[in-house]
Amino acid sequence: QVQLVESGGGSVQTGGSLTLSCAVSGSIFAVGNMAWYRQAPGSQRELVARITAEGTNYADSVKGRFTVSKDSAKRVGYLQMNSLKTEDTAAYYCNADVWVTEVTPSNSWGQGTQVTVSS
């Protein structure tokens, strides 16, 4: 069974930084595309950043401040968040395309980690 476990959330002041991690565990062949989403209370879940074989893309609201990366060998994804703003406060979720076998794809979500930015 594939599991995604996020870590690194917490409380910071505006202008601070946090790095979120997403560890993929289970009996899998490989990890493919990874993405980070966030959901604030009363809002829909939104895409924050994605990393694929072709590159990375970001929501306009985080461009220049957030950096998405992954270590395929370690099966860990990262979201480096700098210059945090109060509007970045949300639960952050990791999503990954996982190859369970060479020909069996799957998509999984993590349980989420809370990021709170205060002024």
**pLDDT tens-digit map of 49-71:** 999 999 999 999 999 999 999 99
Average pLDDT over residues 34-57: 97
Query: Percent helix, strand and coil across the chain, each rounded to 5?
Result: 5, 60, 35
Residues 6+ positions from 45 with CB-CB distance below 8 Å: 37, 38, 39, 93
- pLDDT for residue 103: 87
Question: In the chain, pLDDT over 90 holds for what percent of residues?
Answer: 89
| Dist. CA 13–CA 3, nearest whole Å | 31
Cβ atoms < 10 Å from Cβ of 109? 14
Q: Are 87 and 115 in contact (CB under 8 A)?
A: no
What confidence tier does 105 reach under pLDDT thresholds 50, 70, 90? confident
**pLDDT tens-digit map of 68-98:** 999 999 999 999 999 999 999 999 999 999 9
User: Three-state DSSP class for 90?
Assistant: strand
